[in-house]
Amino acid sequence: MNSRDRILRDVSNNQPDISPLPSWTWPSNDQNVEEFMRTLKGIGGKSFIVANPDSIESDIIETYGEGKRIVNTSSLLKWKGLSENGESAETMEQVEVAIIDGHTGVAENGAVWVDENTMGHRVLP
């Protein structure tokens, strides 16, 4: 038996016990959303509860001001902001606000899981 086969055998024989995946707590109540927003603010992020998606453009301009380099990759919004297609990584560094669809928010640390298919340019986030 060569060294490769010994290594593969040892790895196969020393697998950890199978354990169930942790259960997810989806934001089913206002407390989870409030905790997420509080944590995000604590690490320098901003979050908004939006009553009307059509008002997001004006909310962004009101919050960040006019003339900002804003990129939106979200398919949920009619407003697209600036295009990021064909932009270089150096140009993306100049972006001041990025709007990207997130799939899961983690209340404990303010993280948002972003799928590679929705983030646009890889350096945008």
Q: What is the pLDDT of residue 84?
A: 52
Q: What is the pLDDT of residue 104?
A: 82
Mean pLDDT of successive 10-residue stretches along the chain, which has 125 residues? 92 87 67 88 86 80 81 76 63 82 84 84 80
Give the position of tokens 């990025």: 98
Q: How many helices (H) and strands (E) does the chain have?
A: 4, 4
Residue 94's contacts (CB-CB under 8 Å, 6 or more residues apart) are 69
DSSP labels, 94-106: T-SEEE---SEEE
Q: What is the pLDDT of residue 25?
A: 61
Q: What is the pLDDT of residue 79?
A: 66
Which region, left, alpha or beta, applies to residue 101 given φ > 0 means left and ψ of -120 to 50 means alpha? beta
Q: What is the pLDDT of residue 3?
A: 93
Q: What is the pLDDT of residue 7?
A: 93
